[in-house]
Structure 1
Amino acid sequence: MSGGGRVVERVRDLPTPEGPGRAHVCRPARSRGTVVLGHGAGGGLHSLDLTVAREVLVAAGWAVAVVEQPWLVAGRRIAGRPPTLDAAWVPMVTALMSGRGRLPRPLVVGGRSAGARVACRTAAELEADAGLLLSFPLHLPGRPDRLRDAELALAPDPTWLVQGTRDPFGSPDELAPYVPRWAEVIEVPGAHSFPKGARPALVEALTRIAGLLPG
């Protein structure tokens, strides 16, 4: 996946105040930095956008860790409340970036949907160098009156958003007034979850982002 270079793949169990979490790490030799991505409230680790992000970024020389929240590791079907997600995410990312076998900086935080929200809320505490937000949920479907723009404003500088053109949680046009000046939205055909046919557009978008990430 990294242009013929060696990639080490491993799974790490990580303790958190909310119970054990888990990280699926792909690390190329001489990594440029690290991208840590969280999943959505549905718990899918193999959504198309997360899969393509991992493939493209590892191929570009980045270490990528896809992190499972403790509620998913425990086999529960319903995600925890935002404060519990943040309380688990911060020590997991900290553990990946410190101690023996630590992953290299710069650090890019992100994820899809609920994972993107967690990444924004905790970016400052983790001293993240950039953000990668996939399908950021600006509001619940049909509830544009209840915005999460305050969370989006916490995204690190710089940040890239990959958003479906028909996303009922917030289209690119809906996002536009709330995107920080240091962030960029890249539109990809699809809704909140991307169809298989969106793979070429996702590869193009994430390849472009990989070339712009600080590192």
Structure 2
Amino acid sequence: MPLPLTKVLINTAAAVKARLLLAHGAGAGADSCFMQQLAQQLAERNIEVWRFNFAYMQRFIDTGKRSLPPKMPLLQTEFSQQINNSPADLPLFVGGKSMGGRVASMLSQHSNVKAVFAFGYPFHAPKKLNWRTEHFATLASLLFIAQGERDSFGTRDELAAMQWSDVTMHWLTDGDHDFKPRVKSGLTQQQLIAAAAQFCSRSIDEILLAAK
């Protein structure tokens, strides 16, 4: 039995070239400041963004009662239903912030999905080294990851010796898990979010061009 779909927040684009179905991270919903800024930056690059809340997050928004995210299979089912509900009028890409990006990466085999984008991939829990990359060896489509160099869920140093054939990493200078750099870097979170959006847009352009 299909689960009820939560409301979709849409950022339209002036000369739209693709649609990105974007899921939130574990602790903040689709309308968080980060998600709003990222969606706006993507829309400015002609990517129509559809943001949605997983059911557990929508319950928290509606009732004020916080709960932990459910297990991955249920999150995958919810995300898959959003994919199935997306119109076929534009090339479809999927992705998400942290946990949302991880869920999206597990749906790479979906026939409608052109590629996957993760914004701050949770390679492991902070200070723990139980890696969440087993499925990287069997991805059915390309996975693009924009990652802060200081991300406690997977730093540039930790990942220096790792590579996967279908995964492309783009490092954001001095960024943490929310793409916030230190003041001494001379950069801002807004600049790093914009850089992540530009990486996404450029990658989509290359995929669409290759498909012609």
Task: Tell me the TM-score normalized by structure 1.
Answer: 0.79
Residue range with higher mean Cα deviation, 87-96 or 175-184: 175-184
Label 1:23 to 1:156 Cα distance change in 2 as closer, same or farther (>3 A).
farther
Label 1:30 to 1:89 Cα distance change in 2 as closer, same or farther (>3 A).
same
How far off is 1:122 after superposition?
A: 1.1
What are the residue-to-residue correspondences of 1:88-103 with 2, within 5 Å?
A: 88-96=78-86, 102=87
What is the aligned partner in structure 1 of residue 201 from structure 2? 210
Q: Measure the CA separation in 2 of the matches of 1:25 and 1:134.
A: 18
What are the residue-to-residue correspondences of 1:191-210 with 2, within 5 Å?
A: 191-195=176-180, 197-210=188-201
What is the aligned partner in structure 2 of residue 161 from structure 1? 145
What is the aligned partner in structure 1 of residue 124 from structure 2? 139
Residue range with higher mean Cα deviation, 114-123 or 70-79: 70-79
Residue 94 of structure 2 aligns to which amino acid in structure 1?
A: V
Label 1:85 to 1:205 Cα distance change in 2 as closer, same or farther (>3 A).
closer
Partners of 2:145 and 2:168 within 8 A in 1: yes
Q: Measure the CA separation in 1 of the matches of 2:37 and 2:88.
A: 21
Which runs of 4 or more aligned residues in structure 1 lie more than 6 Å from their structure 2 counterparts after TM superposition? none
How far off is 1:191 after superposition?
A: 1.7
What are the residue-to-residue correspondences of 1:48-63 with 2, within 5 Å?
A: 49-63=34-48
What is the aligned partner in structure 2 of residue 148 from structure 1? 132
Cα RMSD of the aligned pairs, angstroms, is 2.4
Label 1:138 to 1:175 Cα distance change in 2 as closer, same or farther (>3 A).
same
Identity of aligned residues (%): 23
How far off is 1:126 after superposition?
A: 4.4
How far off is 1:116 after superposition?
A: 0.7
How far off is 1:61 after superposition?
A: 1.4
Q: Measure the CA separation in 2 of the matches of 1:128 and 1:209.
A: 15
Partners of 2:12 and 2:43 within 8 A in 1: yes
**Mapped pair 1:170 → 2:131:** no
Q: Measure the CA separation in 2 of the matches of 1:175 and 1:94.
A: 34
What is the aligned partner in structure 2 of residue 116 from structure 1? 101
What is the aligned partner in structure 2 of residue 184 from structure 1? 168
What is the aligned partner in structure 2 of residue 8 from structure 1? none
Residue 141 of structure 1 aligns to which amino acid in structure 2?
A: P
Identify unmatched segments of 5+ residues in structure 2: 182-187
Q: Measure the CA separation in 1 of the matches of 2:138 and 2:99.
A: 14
Q: Measure the CA separation in 1 of the matches of 2:89 and 2:164.
A: 27
Residue range with higher mean Cα deviation, 127-136 or 147-156: 147-156
Residue 196 of structure 2 aligns to which amino acid in structure 1?
A: A
* 1:34 aligned residue (10, 16, 19): 19
Residue 87 of structure 1 aligns to which amino acid in structure 2?
A: T
Q: Measure the CA separation in 2 of the matches of 1:22 and 1:55.
A: 18
Q: Measure the CA separation in 2 of the matches of 1:22 and 1:126.
A: 23
Residue range with higher mean Cα deviation, 54-63 or 195-204: 195-204
Identify unmatched segments of 5+ residues in structure 1: 1-15, 97-101
Partners of 1:32 and 1:104 within 8 A in 2: no
Task: Tell me the TM-score normalized by structure 2.
Answer: 0.80
Label 1:79 to 1:131 Cα distance change in 2 as closer, same or farther (>3 A).
same
Q: Measure the CA separation in 2 of the matches of 1:47 and 1:95.
A: 23
